[in-house]
Amino acid sequence: MHIAAKPDNETARLAALYELLILDTPPEERFDRIAQFAASEFDMPIVLITLLDSERQWFKARIGTQVCETGRDISFCSHAILRDDTMVVEDALQDPRFADNPLVTGAPHIRFYAGAPLALPSGLRLGTLCLIDRRPRTLDTLDLGILGTLRDLAVMELVRTEENHDA
Amino acid sequence: MPDSHILLVEPEPMLRRTVVMTARSLGMSQVHEAASSDAALRMLRSRTFHGAVIAVDCIGRGADQQYDLGLIDRLRADDTPGKTMPIAIMAEQATAELLKALRDRNISRVILKPFRAKVLLETIEKFGASPRKP
């Protein structure tokens, strides 16, 4: 299993995340609605809006799982926030970064993952909107466009949180 | 920027915004959004469109229940540019009455629930690929 490196801007990234005062807050309909729409649109059993803390990934919205966080070292999203575009793992068992990951070999038995990074206007990527399935999948150009739009809607809500704190 | 303009009439904001924003990000047709028939009629007066995707509601109760095709009838009226425009309808279910009513109005595409952004975008892509002269 490959553990993702931390981004070069990790200190600033964590500072921006903590400024939102969003970690460990209750579920909110505005984020749940986006995750629910994605689950229905893509027929995905698991959809998450994740935020990457220093040692964990915490779920602001979650469809299809009762778990509210996992270790950052085993998270797919820690890889996804290292890039601007959506990271797609069509079959985790065929990907040496993830084939022996405990989230693949054990529950929830991830085979497919697509994570669109939640980048603030500053460029800092705080987490992802991600789709997870227990079987290999692919996404076409339209799917990726729709996922990107739903990610943009989630970022708008994060920015709104930021603006409410500033007001 | 694409030169075809498509009208999307859909009351559900998340679906509507997702379709409009995705079409824009992928450089597809320009999709103009309306949340209601009234808003759509205002937009139809202000510009011409090359196609429309329209959600139709059921009105009435019990045996009197029927789809509200008022906007379609306005579009297909003799003196409007929308008379020959390709139109797709979004409906909960395809009843025999609805299909006949749509045939009478020269509508061949019916999108049934569950409504997915992808299906709407594929329809918009087809309408935009060969825009008819409005």
B21: chain A residues, CB-CB within 8 Å: 149, 152-153
pLDDT at B79 over 90: no
The answer to whether B114 contacts chain A (CB < 8 Å) is yes
Nearest to A145 among B17, B25, B116 (CB): B25
User: What is the Cα–Cα distance from A146 to A16, expressed in whole angstroms?
Assistant: 26
Give the residue with greater pLDDT, A90 vs B98.
Answer: A90
Nearest to B118 among A33, A142, A152 (CB): A142
- Nearest CA distance, B73 vs chain A (angstrom): 31
pLDDT of amino acid B65: 73
- The structure's pTM equals 0.93
Q: How many beta carbons lie within 10 A of that of residue A71, not counting itself?
A: 13
> Given an 8 Å threshold on Cβ–Cβ distance, is A146 in contact with B18?
yes
Tens digit of each residue's pLDDT (9 = 90 or more) over B38-57: 999 999 888 889 999 999 98
pLDDT of amino acid B2: 63
What kind and span of H or E run contains A127?
Answer: strand A125-133
Q: What distance separates the 2 farthest-apart alpha carbons in chain B?
A: 47
Backbone angles phi, psi at A40, to 5 degrees: -75, -45
Q: How confident is the model at residue A141 (pLDDT cuts 50, 70, 90)?
A: very high
pLDDT of amino acid B66: 80
User: What is the Cα–Cα distance from A19 to A5, expressed in whole angstroms?
Assistant: 23
Mean pLDDT over the full length of chain A: 96
Tens digit of each residue's pLDDT (9 = 90 or more) over A74-129: 999 999 999 999 999 999 999 999 999 999 999 999 999 999 999 999 999 999 99
pLDDT of amino acid B80: 73
pLDDT of amino acid A103: 97
Report the SS3 class of residue A142.
Answer: helix
Q: How confident is the model at residue B132 (pLDDT cuts 50, 70, 90)?
A: low
Q: How many beta carbons lie within 10 A of that of residue A7, not counting itself?
A: 17
Give B41's contacts (C-beta < 8 A, 6+ positions apart): B71, B74
Percent of chain A whose pLDDT exceeds 90: 95
Mean pLDDT over the full length of chain B: 88
The answer to whether B94 contacts chain A (CB < 8 Å) is no
Give B112's contacts (C-beta < 8 A, 6+ positions apart): B90, B91, B92, B93, B94
- Probe site for chain A from B15, B19, B22 (most A CB atoms < 10 A): B22
Nearest to B14 among A37, A143, A152 (CB): A37
